[in-house]
């Protein structure tokens, strides 16, 4: 496992980050613990979560993934300072008008709640989950700055920001001498390249932001487990996820999958390993966030470590997935 700096910071993270959106949703607590332990033992030191995971499950108030991480940390398998925890704020966590968004009040309350749920004194990387158009960015950054100054948070990042908003935030931090975003978490995979590569990639490179792509396997499509002539199993992510449905209804996705399947057979690797390896080969990427639901899926994903695609393989993958051709 390689360790890389998050952008221009001194913080070192493993080249794969373990996402925890499945915890308390499709992975129960026992399985989540197993995945956390196996990931840590493989050298992954980087966890991504969010306060809202998995608030969409009926009867679940949110915060469950963070609580599972907290209870796992308390088992003592990993010392707190050996794990880098990234969590997020922005989503709705209560019924009140101030229980969501990026206002000063909600950020300060949400950070306190995340610390409590994870039973920890600090959050390594606190990320804004997506923009809040109704709150001035100055207010958001000044609340995040306070959290860093009082030691509750070490670095800040953002997710799902378009390039103009990211630039606006970076300039605001500069102008007002506030802490700046050190990372971006974009939706980025072989089926969803344009949004990041069109402008965000240049911004991240120019301003030295770490890049943590989420949904690197297109929510499971890039494992090859969904087939064109077969409806996804009821209850699976394929049957419920809107973005998976979009991928499955696009001919281009199936062409990308065909090429990956051919190359995977030639290399005796899995489709998911080829897809992850492509992301790892992108010069601006720091650490893709994988989302395995089981230890078996994790082990498969880990097979991408050390797999280097050769120039001919890369050219073939680039050509079939190039967003400029659409």
Ligand X SMILES: NC(=O)c1ccc[n+]([C@@H]2O[C@H](COP(=O)([O-])OP(=O)(O)OC[C@H]3O[C@@H](n4cnc5c(N)ncnc54)[C@H](OP(=O)(O)O)[C@@H]3O)[C@@H](O)[C@H]2O)c1
Q: Which is nearer to ligand X, 174 or 250 (CB)?
A: 250
Collect all residues with Cβ–Cβ distance below 8 Å to 266 and sequence separation of at least 6: none
Collect all residues with Cβ–Cβ distance below 8 Å to 231 and sequence separation of at least 6: 239
Rounded to whole angstroms, the Cα distance separating 138 from 123 reads: 21
Give ∠ CA 204-47-260 in degrees, rounded to 5.
70
Residue 305, both tokens: 């470590």
State in angstroms the smallest separation of the CB of 122 from ligand X.
19
CA distances from 221 to 177, 198, 202, 218, 225 (A): 43, 23, 27, 5, 7
State in angstroms the smallest separation of the CB of 238 from ligand X.
7
Provide, for the chain, the percentages of residues in helix, strand and coil under a 3-state DSSP scheme, each rounded to the nearest 5.
Answer: 45, 15, 40
CB 16 within 8 A of CB 301: yes
> Residue 3 forms beta bridges with which residues?
14
State in angstroms the smallest separation of the CB of 214 from ligand X.
3
Is 53 designated active site? yes
| Residue with the two structure tokens 């969904």 | 226
Q: Which is nearer to ligand X, 21 or 263 (CB)?
A: 21
Rounded to whole angstroms, the Cα distance separating 148 from 238 reads: 39
Q: Which spans of this chain sit near ligand X (rule: CB under 6 A)? A: 19-22, 26, 48, 129, 159-160, 185, 214-220, 223, 225, 236-237, 272, 289-293, 297, 300-301
State in angstroms the smallest separation of the CB of 149 from ligand X.
25
Identify the CA nearest to 144 among candidates 183, 186, 198, 201: 183
CB 4 within 8 A of CB 15: yes
CB 20 within 8 A of CB 32: yes
Q: Which is nearer to ligand X, 114 or 159 (CB)?
A: 159
> If DSSP codes are grouped into helix, strand and coil, which group holds residue 262?
helix
Catalytic residue among 53, 122, 214, 226: 53
State in angstroms the smallest separation of the CB of 179 from ligand X.
20
Work out the widest C-alpha separation in the chain, in whole angstroms.
56
State in angstroms the smallest separation of the CB of 276 from ligand X.
8
Rounded to whole angstroms, the Cα distance separating 1 from 269 reads: 18
- As annotated, the active-site residues are 53
């Amino acid at each position: 496992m390689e360790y890389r700096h998050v952008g221009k910071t001194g913080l070192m993270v493993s080249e794969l980050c373990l996402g925890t959106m499945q915890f308390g949703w499709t992975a129960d607590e026992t399985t989540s613990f197993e995945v956390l332990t196996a990931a840590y033992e493989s050298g992954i030191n980087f966890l991504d979560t969010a306060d809202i995971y998995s608030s969409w499950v009926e009867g679940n108030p949110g915060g469950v993934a963070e609580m599972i991480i907290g209870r796992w940390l308390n088992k003592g398998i990993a010392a707190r300072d050996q794990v880098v925890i990234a969590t997020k704020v922005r989503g709705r966590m209560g019924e009140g008008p101030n229980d969501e968004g990026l206002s000063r009040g909600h950020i300060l309350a949400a950070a306190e709640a995340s610390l409590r749920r994870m039973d920890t004194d600090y959050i390594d990387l606190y990320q804004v989950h997506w923009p809040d158009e109704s709150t001035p960015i100055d207010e958001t950054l000044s609340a995040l700055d306070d959290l860093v100054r009082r030691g509750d948070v070490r670095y800040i990042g953002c997710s799902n920001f378009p390039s103009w908003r990211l630039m606006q935030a970076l300039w605001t931090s500069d102008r007002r001498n506030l802490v700046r975003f050190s990372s971006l978490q974009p939706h980025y995979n072989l089926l969803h390249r344009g949004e990041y590569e069109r402008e965000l990639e240049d911004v991240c490179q120019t301003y030295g932001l770490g890049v943590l792509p989420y949904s690197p396997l297109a929510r499971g499509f890039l494992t090859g487990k969904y087939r064109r002539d077969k409806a996804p199993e009821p209850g699976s992510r394929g049957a419920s996820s809107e973005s998976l449905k979009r991928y499955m209804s696009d001919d281009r996705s199936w062409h990308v999958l065909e090429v990956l399947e051919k190359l995977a057979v030639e290399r005796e690797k899995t489709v998911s390993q080829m897809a992850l390896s492509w992301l790892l080969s992108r010069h601006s990427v720091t650490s893709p966030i994988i989302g395995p639901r089981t230890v078996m899926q994790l082990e498969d994903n880990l097979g991408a470590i050390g797999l280097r695609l050769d120039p001919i393989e890369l050219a073939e993958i680039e050509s079939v997935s190039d967003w400029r051709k659409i």
